[in-house]
Amino acid sequence: MNRKPRWSFLLVALTCFMLVGMAALARADTPLSPGRLVFTAVLPDGSQELYTGAPDGRDRRLLTAADGVSAFDPRWSPGGDRVVYVVKTAAQNTSIRLLDRGLGDEIVVTEGFEDYDPSWSPDGTEIVFVRHVGFQGAIQVSTLSVVTVGRSGARDLMLLEGGARYLRNPSWSPDGGRIAFEVRQAAGGADVYLLRLADGAIERLVTPAGWDDVEPAWSPSGKLLAFASGPGREATDRSRHDLWLADMERGSTGSLWIDETHDLRRPAWSPDGLFLAFDAADPDGVLSLRTLDWREARLGPEPGPGFQVDWGRLPDGRPSATPPTAGPTATEFVPPTPINTGTPIVAPTLPVLPTLVPFPTFPPAEPPAPGPGPTFARPTASPTVTQMASPSPEPETTATATGKPGMPGGRIWLPLVLRDGLLAEPLP
């Protein structure tokens, strides 16, 4: 009896098994990107201090230590040699400080106000932040402001009055042309907006109606915007959120990583754009750091306890210590082509900050019930092991400019008008 077909079948099956095994091994051996994390940690006395560490959790070092002062919300400078952060004194005042790693000097950036959420310009010369002015714990005025490093005084880009809405978490795009930020409702819920600096145009990031969108972060290429999103307009500071991505070229958004038992927040990109770091809170509020290969949707090593993480490049170009292998995959997604080559970001020439003259209307409120949450569309890959396939084309969609929140097309304008030479929200 001729058994050749049977042996041929077994040989093909064995070959396929070896290819799959080699692909899994290649994915598991993919190291994390080089660089160093900076993050906030809670001390036993309840105060908060800043730490740095390798992306795999090793070499944790205390960065700040001051009696009676809590430090939090750190951000690496584009060159990786400075850290900007927020301090809170015993009197509950907040201000922005800057620490030069080379000199060890702490520089006061702002003082005497309630300032939060600093974010660097891509050339490292300016810092955008939010400032809140309130009375008896209630926010009355919220501004999006910019300060030049080494100079006193801040310039206001935007102002909201009344306390019904306030600004949080600005993020400056790598090309210097846009700033993403949140507009939070005092009653709960938030949306991500984009400010175009060339002409002052403001538009809302289009996501499903009824979702709470917070903490935007630009990828190093500027093509993607990561943020945290959760269903429900009555969201609280630690209600459950997932990681989402917005493709800024195609205009599509969708969920990237979902954890049904943890609240996922504060995504931060690795310098080469291949990984994300973020913090995760369990039902008891215990905070820990995680890493994610977003292309394959694979969790990597957990850097340990902490929150408000940022991932910076090594200032002298030295590679970080070799990290351990990534953890097991939790999904069946295949990797797309990387978004960039890992080359250093070229500092762009920043445009002159404009005087904003926004459209004097505000969109109607979104429906209280959340809409469906799409999954971020991933390109398909070929079955070969050594070469990734080019992204599959997606069907073009024609968007009509309806201007309705939660629908594609149109722009959403914030309610800002000029009053006494300042930008102000019209009084009710």
Q: Is residue 12 part of a domain?
A: no
One-character DSSP codes across 40-90: EEE-TTS-EEEEEE-TTS-S-EE----TT-EEEEEEE-TTSSEEEEEEE-T
CATH code of the domain in which 252 resides: 2.120.10.30
Report the domain count for the chain. Answer: 1
Query: Residue 427: what pLDDT?
Result: 35
DSSP helix/strand/coil, 17: helix
Domain-embedded: residue 405:
no
Q: How many CB atoms lie within 10 A of CB 80?
A: 20
Residue range of the domain that includes 335: 39-339+412-424
- β-partners of residue 52 are 38, 61
User: CA torsion sign, 134 to 137 to 143 to 149?
Assistant: positive
Q: Model confidence over 335-348: pLDDT tens digits?
A: 232 333 333 333 33
**Within the chain, which residues score under 70 in pLDDT?**
1-31, 90, 103, 136, 232-238, 316-374, 377-428
What pLDDT shows up at residue 19? 43
What is the per-residue burial (b if ≥16 Cβ within 10 Å, else e) of 396-405? eeeeeeeebb
- Residue 372: the pLDDT is 57
258 CB contacts (<8 Å, ≥6 apart)?
242, 243
Is there a domain that residue 161 lies in? yes
- Cα–Cα distances in angstroms (integers) from residue 262 to residues 275, 279, 310, in the given order: 19, 9, 19
Asked if residues 235 and 190 have their Cβ atoms less than 8 Å apart, the reply is yes
* Percent with pLDDT over 90 in the chain: 47
At 327 the pLDDT is 34
The beta strand positions in 55-207, using DSSP E, are 61-62, 70-76, 82-88, 94-100, 106-108, 114-120, 126-135, 138-148, 154-161, 165-172, 178-185, 190-196, 202-204
Please choose, from the candidates 245, 243, 242, 263, the residue with its C-alpha nearest in 3D space to the C-alpha of residue 253: 245
Q: What angle do CA 332, 338, 341 make, to 5 degrees?
A: 155
From residue 66, give the alpha-carbon distance in Å to each of 59, 92, 218.
21, 15, 32
Q: Is the Cβ–Cβ distance between 53 and 37 less than 8 Å?
A: yes
Per DSSP, 109 falls in state -
Provide the pLDDT for residue 189. Answer: 87
- Is residue 356 domain-resident? no
- Structural domain contains residue 20: no
| Token pair listed for 158 | 């935007």
Residue 213 within any structural domain of the chain: yes
Instruction: Please identify which residue in the block is written with the tokens 């003082």.
Output: 111
Q: Report how far residue 73's alpha carbon sits from residue 304's, in angstroms, rounded to the nearest whole number.
A: 17
Rounded Cα gap, residues 329 and 21, in angstroms? 14
Does 14 reside within a domain? no
Contact 201, 411 (CB under 8 A): yes
Residue 114 covered by a domain:
yes
Q: What global pTM score does this model have?
A: 0.71
